[in-house]
Amino acid sequence: DIQLTQSPSFLSASVGDSVTITCRASQDITTYVNWYQQKPGRAPNLLIYAAYVLHSGVPSRFRGDGSVTEFTLTISSLRPEDSATYYCQQLNSYPHNFGPGTQLEIK
């Protein structure tokens, strides 16, 4: 099975800042990585697919990058509503594992 790690596990930043979350895979997953945002008590929302493609309706402040085994999600010009947990997921092979998540706090 392909394992995903995320760093950091917790992030605290201020409104207007930029932050980057890293997702690392245990094997080459080309660009079959997606990023989701989840707020407490809600379903996940797709942000980025295929490593860097912005899902419809997602603000351009969100940017994905990377390939092979290392991927990043960068959020620029942070807003209070960006407070959430962010997960990467690989769909290169089964099981379609998620990373452990990164909790982002907006100060």
Partner 1 sequence: EVQLVESGGGLVQPGGSLRLSCAASGFTFSRYWMTWVRQAPGKGLEWVSNVNQDGSETYDVDSVRGRFTVSRDNAKNSVFLQLNSLRVEDTAVYFCARRVREVGLDFYDYWGQGTLVTVSS
Nearer of residues 13 and 100 to partner 1, judged by Cβ = 100
Distance separating alpha carbons of residues 23 and 87, to the nearest angstrom: 9
Residue 75, number of CB atoms within 10 A of its CB: 23
Shortest spacing between CB 19 and partner 1, in angstroms: 19
| Binding residues vs partner 1 (CB under 8 A) | 31-32, 34, 36, 38, 42-46, 49-50, 53, 55, 85, 87, 89, 91, 94-101
Shortest spacing between CB 16 and partner 1, in angstroms: 28
| Strands 19-25 and 70-75, sheet pairing | antiparallel
User: What number of residues does the chain have?
Assistant: 107
